[in-house]
């Protein structure tokens, strides 16, 4: 099977050297493999943070950097009906429940263990009286949809594994996430749902992403197993740091590809600064 990789940025700002590293990491792998494909996906389901002009700028910045991609660019906000189908499937299996808690409610619940994404949800709305749940839904109360993780894990093999490049098969530890959100209060789907769905829908065989998201692969493996989607291999790469030793972020304007281009830096030099000298 030919290698398929992807770069999947969120259009919440301009790309910086850290993104260039991630994009080049995936692109080089695809281009080095016979018949390999490199896909580009815009992860824009967060209406509050994503802006169309940043999506346009991403394509321009990547092309300037010397990257090309195969096929159409996939845009997540255009796939909402597909995400809805997946949510309906999980709901029909009894693995999804509405959660009316705000962040403040969860913080107030206190003493929640900390997971990779903050306090682990204590499961308050999983235990909600069914009549009360129906009444709140009927009243149009804002809610997220959460996965009943214990229910999901009960249907899967006891030891769930994933293939990490250069390491081999490793055991997943999804419990640390608790009942993850699959549809947000403010968006019809969530990062974990969309990214897992799209990697499967696009036939991605090697998921490459920063080491900061390595744990996310554990919970995404649960969704793949539940929904019968193929298990890709994973390669988590290191994160570039700025002069202050902290990982680069969008707030570091000076490291944006746009700023480098405006300062007259040529693309080959930027590729080298991103860790991929020609
Ligand atoms: N869209 C995610 C981000 O920009 C990355 C997607 C992934 O590789 O999982 O952080």
How large is the average pLDDT for residues 172-189? 96
Backbone angles phi, psi at 186, to 5 degrees: -105, 10
Chain segment 199-223, per-residue pLDDT in tens: 999 999 999 999 999 999 999 999 9
**Candidate from 16, 191, 223 with most ligand 1 atoms within 8 A of CB, to mutate:** 191
pLDDT value of position 110: 67
Average pLDDT of the chain to the nearest whole number: 94
Ligand 1 centroid to Cα of residue 29, in Å, is 18
**How do the domains of the chain map onto residue ranges?**
1-78+240-278, 80-195
Which residues are catalytic, by number? 250
Residue 25, pLDDT > 70, answer yes
**Candidate from 43, 79, 192, 193 with most ligand 1 atoms within 8 A of CB, to mutate:** 43
Would you state the CATH architecture of domain 1-78+240-278? 3-Layer(aba) Sandwich (3.40)
Residue 275, pLDDT > 80, answer yes
Where do the DSSP E strands lie in 154-200?
Answer: 161-164, 168-171, 181-183
Ligand 1 centroid to Cα of residue 95, in Å, is 25
Backbone angles phi, psi at 230, to 5 degrees: -65, 150
Ligand 1 centroid to Cα of residue 8, in Å, is 5
Give the span between the Cα atoms of 94 and 148, in whole angstroms.
Answer: 8
No. of helices (H) and no. of strands (E), the chain: 10, 12
Chain segment 36-62, per-residue pLDDT in tens: 999 999 999 999 999 999 999 999 999
Ligand 1 centroid to Cα of residue 7, in Å, is 8
How large is the average pLDDT for residues 57-70? 98
Chain segment 252-266, per-residue pLDDT in tens: 655 899 999 999 999
DSSP symbol at 105: H
* DSSP assignment string, 223-255: HHHHHT----EEEEEP--B-TTSSBP-TT-GGG
Ligand 1 near 9 CB (within 6 A): yes
Ligand 1 near 199 CB (within 6 A): no
Ligand 1 near 217 CB (within 6 A): no
Ligand 1 near 219 CB (within 6 A): no
Give the span between the Cα atoms of 182 and 192, in whole angstroms.
Answer: 7
**Candidate from 5, 7, 8, 16 with most ligand 1 atoms within 8 A of CB, to mutate:** 8
Ligand 1 near 213 CB (within 6 A): yes
Considering only CA atoms, which of 146, 138, 139 is closest in space to residue 106?
Answer: 146
Third-level CATH fold of 80-195:
3.90.800
How large is the average pLDDT for residues 164-171? 96
- In terms of residues, how long is the chain? 278
**Residue 187 region by backbone torsions, left for phi larger than 0, else alpha for psi between -120 and 50, else beta:** beta
* DSSP assignment string, 61-86: HHHHHT---SSPPEEGGG-HHHHHHH
pLDDT value of position 100: 97
Angle, CA 191 vertex, CA 155 and CA 33 arms, to 5°: 90
pLDDT value of position 167: 96
Q: Which atom of ligand 1 is nearest to the CA of 6?
A: 8
Quickly state the pLDDT bin for 109 (edges 50, 70, 90).
Answer: confident
DSSP symbol at 113: P
Ligand 1 near 215 CB (within 6 A): no
């Amino acid at each position: 099977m030919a290698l398929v990789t992807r770069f999947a940025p969120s259009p919440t700002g301009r790309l910086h050297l850290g993104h260039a590293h991630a994009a080049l990491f995936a692109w080089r792998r695809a281009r080095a493999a016979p018949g390999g494909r490199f896909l580009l996906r815009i992860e824009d389901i967060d209406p509050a943070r994503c802006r169309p002009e940043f999506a346009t700028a991403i394509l321009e910045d990547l092309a300037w950097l010397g990257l090309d991609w195969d096929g159409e660019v996939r845009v997540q906000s255009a796939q909402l009906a597909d995400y809805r189908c997946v949510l309906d499937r999980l709901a029909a299996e009894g693995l999804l429940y509405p959660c009316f808690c705000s962040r403040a409610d969860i913080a107030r619940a206190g003493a929640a263990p900390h997971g990779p994404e903050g306090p682990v949800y204590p499961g308050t709305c999983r235990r909600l009286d069914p009549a009360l749940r129906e009444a709140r839904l009927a009243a149009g109360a804002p809610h997220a949809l959460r996965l009943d993780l214990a229910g999901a894990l009960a249907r899967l093999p006891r030891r769930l594994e994933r293939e990490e490049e250069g390491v081999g098969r490793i055991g997943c530890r999804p419990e640390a996430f608790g009942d993850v959100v699959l549809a947000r209060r403010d968006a019809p789907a969530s990062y974990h749902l969309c990214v897992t769905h799209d990697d499967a829908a696009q036939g991605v065989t090697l998921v490459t992403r920063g080491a900061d998201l390595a744990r996310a692969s554990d919970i995404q493996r649960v969704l793949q197993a539940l929904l019968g989607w193929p298990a890709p291999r994973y390669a988590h790469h290191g994160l570039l740091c700025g002069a202050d030793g902290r990982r680069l972020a969008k707030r570091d304007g000076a490291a944006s590809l746009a700023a480098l281009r405006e300062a007259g830096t040529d693309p080959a030099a930027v590729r080298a600064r991103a860790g991929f000298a020609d």
